[in-house]
Structure 1
Amino acid sequence: MTNFPIAPKHPMTREFHGRSFVDNYEWLRDKQSPETLDYLNAENAYTESKTKQLETLTENIFQEVKSRVKETDMSVPTRRGDYWYYGRSIEGKNYGISCRLPVEDGQDPWTPPVIPEEGAPAGEQVLLDVNELAEGHEFFSLGASTVSESGRLLAYSQDTAGDERFTLFVKDLQTGELLEDRLDGIHYGATWIGDEYIFYTTVDDAWRADKVWRHQLGTAQDQDVLVFEEKDEHFNVGVGKARSDKYVFIGLGSKLTSEAWVIEADTPDAAPKLLWQRETGVDYDVDHAVVGGKDYWVVTHNATGPNFEVGYCEVGDLKPLRELNVLMAHSDTVRIEGVDTYRDHIAVGYRRGGIGRAAIMDVRAGWGAFDELTFKEELYTVAIGGNPEWDAPVLRVSYTSFIEPGQLFDYRVATGEYTLLKSQEIPGGYNKDDYVAYRMWAEAEDGARIPVSVIHRADLDRTKPNPALLYAYGSYEMSIDPYFSVFRLSLMDRGMIYAIAHVRGGGEMGRSWYDEGKMLNKKNTFTDFIAVADDLIARRVTTPKTLVAEGGSAGGLLMGAVANMAPDRFVGIQANVPFVDPLTSILKPELPLTIPEWEEWGDPYHDPEVYDYMLSYSPYENVAAQDYPDILALTSLNDTRVLYVEPAKWIAKLRDTASSGEFLLKTEMAAGHGGVSGRYAKWRQNAFEFAWTINKATGATE
């Protein structure tokens, strides 16, 4: 196919606040329409024809990735109750296999067993082989996978369409049989209470998690008890259990405000009790701790400052948030992100200087002070997780960086000793000294200093400009932290620089960094990205003819905005599941997730000022008769977060309006927001995306 598809124009007029906008492509929203499906299939065929020259490069990258991934591998066992749980991956299989071994008498109960990568050890039990579950399905996603407190029952859920609505099943791990219990149309997750009850959530027509249910094993779903319903459309609801197993928490959250309710686990049929009543703009999260034999609530909250504080009070003496005993005070330079409690210690995660950090408090002798875990690299990511056991004397600590493959340690709190459990193995060899990672700073229009992470081969000739990929996200206070990527090696080994612009709207520099890139400050996200591109060009790191931009989802909005605002800075722009028609979507309260999003973007439905501000940057409405870089947009037909119609309309309008540029749309016809399922299909899709980027920046086809 040599001629691009031409989307027919079926004009529709949008009227709001006395403003009119004629939309020629809104008809593409009807995904049941043969005309829509024919158009999307034609676009796929056109994209395939225009990227045929990338087949060799795509295959080479795919094979490089395969050669750098240990395809037959296993996770480090994690203890829960009387078993060690772990996962296996097997070469040639798309999905993982979850297994367990009993904790043996006579061995250290907190040192994980050494399990052979091939061949099952005596006593191994396969809980789920996801390859078997996925067989016959074009798409498969595992949602919940959780074992009951006794270890006898497994609840797991699956999505075979990509629309993030799951069906839950219960498996008897002693007999291997499925029980008759089946829960349809549920949301992510499932929480066991004993072996008798499962708490779960469902969504409303707008895909908002609004209800918590209690299911009693052995009964039909239509007999399930509605435990909690949240009718305010700004809020989503979730349910989970304290690590101590003593309490069930029901948490409500909007973008700005939260509220927590609690049920004692030994009375699961009791009505939930409110902890702190919601207060607009106050966000808090609660965990349960036992110190000196007393029960406490440990609370992370922003009632005393935007960067949050950690406080505590006795369970029976519920003090106001602003009067809690302080464990970690609010700071203008430290953004506290949350705590995890254990029998003998408390872990806290926070962000300082753009880097995520962690600290531990030993509470065996009472409340104390947090001790920060320290590391040598400038840019790294540390996380404490995978620790389900309340009374474990060790913490699982993961560590990675842009050039350091992932490492997993046991950290013994009493002694401060680290035990390396696993290092990510790169088959064929990998030398971190062959690559470098460092931080640069660019200056925004208003003088703000924007952190930029830069990664490339150590032997790269930096006396001249080099091809580069500039990535960013910049929304929801999400931080793009250092992480190791085998895909990135294929890019850097072809002489490219990988750079990340930590723009406002993200969370790298604290809550104010987020606040300055949302609502009526959203344009800072876009101008920050352009400032970083300009800085890289001014420093002769790269050139506009060799610089590709990439972002996905809300980062795809960023891509659409900079395509309109600064098209001459980039040779190509890749937009994954891009939110490029935000005003149309946010004006539709009936769409999935829309009303809660008003606290992120503003409410254009009711507020003319917000309408005009969003109209001024919305990529779709601002496509202009100008030269554009080449653009690749990727989407999925069943995406419920960013509907396929947004990039479809955007590409159609670019084709109709722009004076130059090649515009490609690739739609996965059986997938959701995360794209295709199965690791090999994902690798191949990612290889295609990297091939497109490398080709645009370097001209390479191999």
Structure 2
Amino acid sequence: MNFDDAVASEALRLRSVTDRLLSELGTADAASETRAPATRSPVWIEDGRLLYRAVGEGGGPDVAELVAGRPVGNVASWLALHDKGLVAVCLRDPGGDEYELLVFRVAQGLGRLIHSDARVSPAVRSCGDCLVWVQRDHAHRPHRVLAWSEDDGLRELYIDDDPRFRVSLGSADGRQVVVFSRGAGCSEIALAEHQNSSVGFSVAIVVPREENSVCAAALTGGYLTILDRKAQHLRVGQRGRMDRTEFPSGFFGERVGVVDGLVYVEGRMDGRAAVWCPAWGVAALWVAPYGGVIQPARVDGRRLHLGVSSPIHPLEMCIGADDGSWDVAPTPRPDVDAGRLWAGGRDGTDIPITLFRSAPADGDRPRPVLAMVYGCYGIPLDSMFDPLIALLIESGIGVALCHVRGGGEWGSDWHSAAKGRWKSRSIDDYLACVEYLADRPDVDDRRIGCLASSAGALVATSAVLRRPDLFAAAELVHPFLTPELILADEDAPLAATDWEEFGNPVSGDGWVPSVSPLAFAEQMERTDLPKFWIRAGSSDFRTPLWSIEAWLDVMTSVQGQSWPAPVVQVGAHAHSGPSDGPEARAANCLAIGWLVDALG
């Protein structure tokens, strides 16, 4: 299908809106291009060259050019072993979601490529004398851990051939590194230890794979911290002896990490993202703003520096004291506030909504609302600051985050309540949220829009097709619209692990059509539908363009002239979206400008 003409027509029609958005975003791109190298990451790309600035090293050029003899993409991660003169860089293909590992020996201002590996996960660790990373299989599933050194070459440390599981690396500490294999409702954790060059590695399973057992772990100072998500406690120690630590009351732990030698736990508190430092006691817990994110950055004595952000909090470094208070607290944008609302679900469960609104310039007159949703995989609908979403709010459009079941806002039980045969609850919850918003006197029920991406677009689109009268516009980003087609392809990158979430059409799970936008499109009668804007990537192997076209074909054949032709914006990128830069910013402004026009 050729979608370019419709996008070009909309770009011309919306030019005044998008020009204003681009103007208000300022000159951030130009500032990024001209900033001094000293303010950049030690590994960056400039004028098509991959550069490395040695930190804290003397006696040689300050900046080295890493010569790969091939085009470079975007730097996803890097690791420098200064004592060995090695730099490892994970590069992301700018037009897709493929990653390549390049290892350089750096000397006299130049880098010489000495090892490379394609189709890898974007993380690399050092362990003993080796570099360690995860390699993906033909379906892009992370499935085995490799170790490499100049002296010993390449070794395989761990492999998982079960297509339901995905392998990843955790923290590394000297001669040890944590390996995870996570899948449908359970996990396995291994500890790989580098003995010496002659013996190589020993790999021991520290948490065996058991049904309904999902754990996380971190390693520091020779001690392992294991977080049991089901039992909700920590075990800390060495393999022979581990002591148990309980969580603070009301806190749900999800992940464990290490910053400057201090173990921290990421989780949820009262439905919001939170961080807890067990070594500092139960009070050392900090909660993100409504709908926001929080991440430890560094430790300064008994104070923790945390990156904090939300739709109304630009990313800033805040400082938390060891009693859970803030020395420097997050600062929201002026004249914009956030509050929590509760919608009554169809089965009596209260569904939380976080609503962001600017101070009304025209009294209490009803205003439009954009209702966002995800509700899949136990992932909460939290958001960092996005200047375009902030401009949307400041333009008078409220933004509602609908925290439906299937997400992770209230831990694993909130997720389990809406997966598999119960997945339709996510759709029911979203409709309950939108109905609640439509009944509020401060909301214009004729100007409610929806915005969702990836699997969340399955929830949103199914809701729109069930109740098109509730919505004025729907914007779908890399949408998952045909589960019965994609999940039947056993070579698809996520098909096997998605079966637990949406059902397995191969084995005949009968509930898959009950959540499928494709099935809803085939079954519904002709009716008035809202406007649609769909963003897609030509290199997206998770929600490929052909699957979106299949849904559009059915919608067009069933709805005929009553179906207003959607605008499909296709970019030369993969599932994670376009790279940063002027072209990506223009494309983002056009999509948000369409929402401003449709709802404003």
TM-score using structure 1 length: 0.76
After superposition, where does 1:87-486 map in structure 2 within 5 Å? 87=41, 99=53, 101-102=55-56, 125-126=62-63, 140-148=73-81, 150=83, 152-160=85-93, 162-175=95-108, 176-194=110-128, 196-217=129-150, 224-242=154-172, 244-267=173-196, 269-290=200-221, 295-304=222-231, 308-317=232-241, 325-329=243-247, 333-341=250-258, 345-362=262-279, 369-374=281-286, 379=290, 381=292, 383-387=294-298, 395-409=304-318, 418=327, 432-461=333-362, 463-481=364-382, 483-486=384-387
- 1:54 maps onto 2:8 in alignment: no
SS in 1 for 2:41: strand
Q: How big is the alpha-carbon RMSD for the aligned residues of Structure 1 and Structure 2?
A: 3.7
Deviations 1:186-224 (A, max 9, x none): 332222235x522222222222111222222378xxx62
Unmatched 5+ stretches in structure 2: none
2:465 alignment partner in structure 1: 564
Cα distance change of structure 1 residues 206 and 546 upon mapping to structure 2, 3 Å threshold: same
The answer on 1:618 being equivalent to 2:532 is no
Shift of residue 336, structure 1, vs aligned partner: 0.7
Residue 500 (structure 1) shift: 1.1
Name the CA distance, whole Å, in 2 between partners of 1:204 and 1:583. Answer: 23
TM-score by length of 2: 0.88
| Alignment correspondent of 1:111 | none
In 2 relative to 1, CA 89–436 (structure 1 residues): closer, same or farther, beyond 3 Å?
A: farther
What is the rounded CA distance, in whole Å, between the counterparts of 1:313 and 1:411 in structure 2? 26
Q: Does the CA contact (< 8 Å) of 2:450 and 2:474 recur in 1?
A: yes
What are the residue-to-residue correspondences of 1:7-46 with 2, within 5 Å?
Answer: 39=1, 42-46=2-6
How far residue 237 of structure 1 moved from its aligned partner, in angstroms, is 1.1
Taking the aligned partners of 2:189 and 2:258, their CA distance within structure 1 comes to 17
Q: Distance in 2 between matches of 1:158 and 1:102?
A: 24
Residues 187/330 of structure 1: CA separation in 2 closer, same or farther (3 Å cut): same
Structure 1 runs of 4+ aligned residues shifted over 6 Å read 73-77, 92-98, 132-137, 414-417
Is the strand fraction higher in 1 or 2?
A: 2
Indicate the residue corresponding to 1:35 in structure 2: none
**Bigger shift: 545-554 or 404-413?**
404-413
Alignment partners' CA distance in 2, 1:73 and 1:161? 17
Task: Tell me how far 1:405 sits from its aligned partner.
Answer: 2.0
Corresponding position of 2:454: 553
Is the contact made by 2:90 and 2:102 (CA closer than 8 Å) also made in structure 1? yes
The answer to whether the Cα contact below 8 Å between 2:179 and 2:190 also exists between their aligned partners in 1 is yes
Aligned CA distance change for structure 1 residues 53 and 671 (closer, same or farther; 3 Å)? same
Give the whole-Å Cα distance in 2 for the aligned partners of 1:50 and 1:561: 25
The answer to whether the 8 Å contact 2:291/2:382 transfers is yes
Match of 2:544 in 1: 643
Kindly, what percent of the aligned residue pairs are identical?
A: 19
Deviation at 1:372, TM superposition (A): 2.6
Write out per-residue CA displacement over residues 639-662 of structure 1, whole angstroms, 9 at most, x where no aligned residue. Answer: 122112222222222222225242
Q: Does the CA contact (< 8 Å) of 2:423 and 2:501 recur in 1?
A: no
CA distance in 2, matches of 1:186, 1:667: 29
Give the Cα separation in 2 of the matches to 1:128 and 1:347. Answer: 36
- Answer yes or no: is the 8 Å Cα contact 1:651–1:663 preserved in 2: no
Say whether the 8 Å CA contact 1:74–1:89 is kept in structure 2.
no
Cα shift readout 1:111-156 (whole Å, capped 9, x = no counterpart): xxxxxxxxxxx99944679xx999978xx43333222263732111
- Cα distance in 1 for partners of 2:50, 2:285 equals 32
Task: Quote how far apart the aligned CAs of 1:555 are.
Answer: 1.1
Structure 1, unaligned stretches of length 5 or more? 1-38, 78-83, 105-121, 318-323, 363-367, 425-430
Q: Does the CA-based 8 Å contact 1:309-1:330 persist in structure 2? A: no
Distance 1:547 1:615 in 2: 26
Does 1 or 2 have the higher relative contact order (CA < 8 Å, sep 6+)? Answer: 1
What secondary structure, in the 3-state scheme, does the structure 2 residue paired with 1:405 have?
strand
Deviation at 1:475, TM superposition (A): 0.8
Q: Is the 8 A contact 1:153 1:170 kept in 2?
A: yes
- Please identify, of 165-174 and 520-529, the stretch whose mean Cα deviation from structure 2 is larger: 165-174
Change (3 A) 1:530 1:188: same
Secondary structure in 1 matching 2:421? helix
Supply the distance in 2 between the matched residues of 1:74 and 1:247 (Cα, whole angstroms): 40
Residues paired across the two proteins, number:
593
Evaluate the alpha carbon distance shift between residue 136 and residue 271 of structure 1 in structure 2; reply closer, same or farther with a 3 A threshold. closer
- Three-state SS of the structure 1 residue aligned to 2:444 is coil
